[in-house]
Structure 1
Amino acid sequence: MLREIWLVFRRDLTVSMRIPAWIFIGIMQPMLYLVLFGPLLEPLVANTPGFPPGNAWAILTPALVVQMALFGMFAGFGILAELRTGALERMRVTPVRRIALLLGKVANYALQLLVQSLIILVLALVAFDLSAPFWGVVLALIIALLMGITLASAGYATALLLKSEEAFIPLLNTILLPVLLLSGILIPITSGLAPDWLYTISQINPFRHIVDADRSAFRGDYTMDGLLTGSIVLLIMAVLAVWWGARTFARENA
């Protein structure tokens, strides 16, 4: 099956490389947050109690990497285009396993996410006061990549179920906006900053715990308190999303 995954990955990577501008288009929003919002966050972190440890860049940068992973559901647009052009149907008649179709496409998205994340990290290191341990950054990237795989799998499954851009776009906006706001990506939602009702609601959001784990890894906090909850939540979500995606690929392409 590894060879089948490689073939699908190589085919999708070839298609992606024909329009490499998409890599930079995908990082425009987090780059703007880094450049335009980061300086505003610096005095807030210094003068407002309730922020997690670290300076503004150690708080914002890993969250922006997670934000790019969160938008992995938009990968489903690629499947809708292949459905419309018949490319997915042509792949369906090949002997490639359906789970290999999913994992090959997800691997291509994960590679793009890795490149985008490295660009953001290099910008934060070169242009701003970002300081983070090497292995903490590596662990934070692994967390973000696993989250990207999770969201891309869910995006592919959702797109295959809906089969319509007109339905897919409003659904993503409805889901991702509250998830983004309640995950504390831009401003951490802590008990010292947020009102009790907002803090309680954010605790229900699983992505909030993943963002917290990514920030903990970035500042070198490898303790159970820093990483355990977010890591467990992410692993469960990843297994469920890949299972759902593979099952949907098999059913919709039967």
Structure 2
Amino acid sequence: MTTTAPAASAGTTAGTRPTGFVRDTAAVFVRESKPLVRDPFSVMFSLVQPLVFLGLFGPLLIGAAGGDVAGTLQWFVPGILVMVALFGTASTGANLLFEMQTGSHERTLVAPLSRSALLVGRALKEVVPLVIQGTIVVVVAVPFGFAVDVAGLAVGLVILAVFGIGFGALSYTLALSCRNRDWMFWMVHQTLLFPLMILSGMLLPLDDGPDWMKVAAAVNPLSYLVGAERALLAGDFGDPAVVGGAIAAIVTCAIGVVVGVRAMRRAS
């Protein structure tokens, strides 16, 4: 009797021993990144929609601008980068939905890992494909006359990465809320995604739009990201839009992580 109790206690302690937030986050990040390494085609496939917009919508804008290819690309390509960040992170919750349906997520919940790390590690994973895809979009546009400031591109990708962490966390939160109704995830996803995109000015300028549309754009964080990317990729670091975009990205990241961590901690 006196020998079995300590053994059970030791086993319980070993099984529930916290491992540290940073180490847990790194472990989750590596776990979530392995599918990208094994199947890099998935990263390329996610580029189809932004490249379609660039290839089909771009010529229409060039025609409307009187054939000014370079000027149109300087305006349009930064918006496509924001589109990459939006599309790439908005659907990440679908992966979590699949794991919950197959029981994989429940197995991670009983692992000796911080619940916060489960969320943050997943969100950080979205930075890798976002940076790769954004770089590819710029490389594709350069031969057609797009001039990019390399330092501005680097800073712009960092801002998009910060935004992507927060927006990806919100997508995971939505998935946790819709775990038994996956159709609800896609309904909310599609209902919000395209209004956010259109009301950001990434596809068409909103200067001549109605007042209600301008008001909606003023509270849309993507509007500030688009403005920041246009300034940064042109090398205009002093543009106030850069500060606005950075603030929008940081606020989105903070809200997404806080809300997501709370949802993950409540998950069972």
Give ranges in structure 2 of 5+ residues lacking alignment.
Answer: 1-20
Partner of 1:198: 213
**Higher relative contact order, structure no. (Cα contacts within 8 Å, ≥ 6 residues apart):** 1
Cα distance in 2 for residues equivalent to 1:194 and 1:86: 48
Residue in structure 2 matching 1:141, options 154, 157, 174:
157
CA contact (8 A) 2:43 2:133 kept: yes
Q: Does structure 1 residue 96 correspond to structure 2 residue 113?
A: yes
Tell me the residue number matched to 2:257.
Answer: 242
Q: What TM-score, normalized by structure 2, do the two folds share?
A: 0.85
Checking the alignment, whether the CA contact within 8 Å between 1:184 and 1:208 is kept in structure 2 is yes
Secondary structure (helix, strand or coil) at the match of 1:37 reads helix
Match among 26, 29, 35 for residue 9 of structure 1: 29
User: Which of the two has higher C-alpha Rg?
Assistant: 2
Q: Deviations over 1:2-21 (max 9, x none)?
A: 22112111111112333322
2:231 maps to which of 207, 216, 228: 216
Deviation, 1:47, is: 7.8
For residues 204 and 46 of structure 1, do their structure 2 counterparts lie closer, same or farther at Cα, with a shift above 3 Å needed? farther
2:100 counterpart of 1:63:
no
- Superposed CA deviations along residues 190-243 of structure 1, whole A, max 9, x for unmatched, are 2xx334343233222222112111111111222252222222222112111111
- Corresponding residue SS for 1:132: coil
- Percent identity between the two aligned chains: 30
In the aligned structure 1, how far is the partner of 2:67 from the partner of 2:73? 15
Q: How many corresponding residue pairs?
A: 245
| 1:79 counterpart SS class | helix
Could you list the structure 1 runs, at least 4 aligned residues long, displaced by more than 6 angstroms after superposition. none
Which amino acid is the alignment partner of residue 35 of structure 2? Answer: V
2:242 to 223, 227, 248: 227
Indicate the SS of the match to 1:228.
Answer: helix
- Is 2:56 the partner of 1:40? no
Deviation per CA, 1:41-83, whole angstroms, max 9, x where unpaired?
22433589xxxxx711111111111111112121000100110
CA distance in 1, matches of 2:66, 2:242: 24
Extract unaligned runs of 5+ from structure 1.
49-53
Q: Does the residue aligned with 1:55 lie in a helix, a strand or coil? A: helix
Give yes or no for the alignment of 1:150 onto 2:166.
yes
AA aligned to 1:21 is: F
Residues 66 and 144 of structure 1 are in contact (CA less than 8 Å); yes or no, is this contact kept in structure 2? Answer: yes
Among residues 123, 127, 132, which one is paired with 1:106 in the alignment? 123
Aligned equivalents of 1:160, 1:39: Cα separation in 2: 40
Contact between 2:159 and 2:245, CA under 8 Å: does it hold in 1?
no
Partner-residue secondary structure (3-state), 1:158? helix
Note the alpha carbon deviations across 1:127-166, whole angstroms, 9 max, x for none. x111021111111111211121121010001110111321
Separation in 1 of the partners of 2:57 and 2:251? Answer: 32
Q: Show the counterpart of 1:175.
A: 192
TM-score computed with the length of structure 1 as normaliser: 0.90
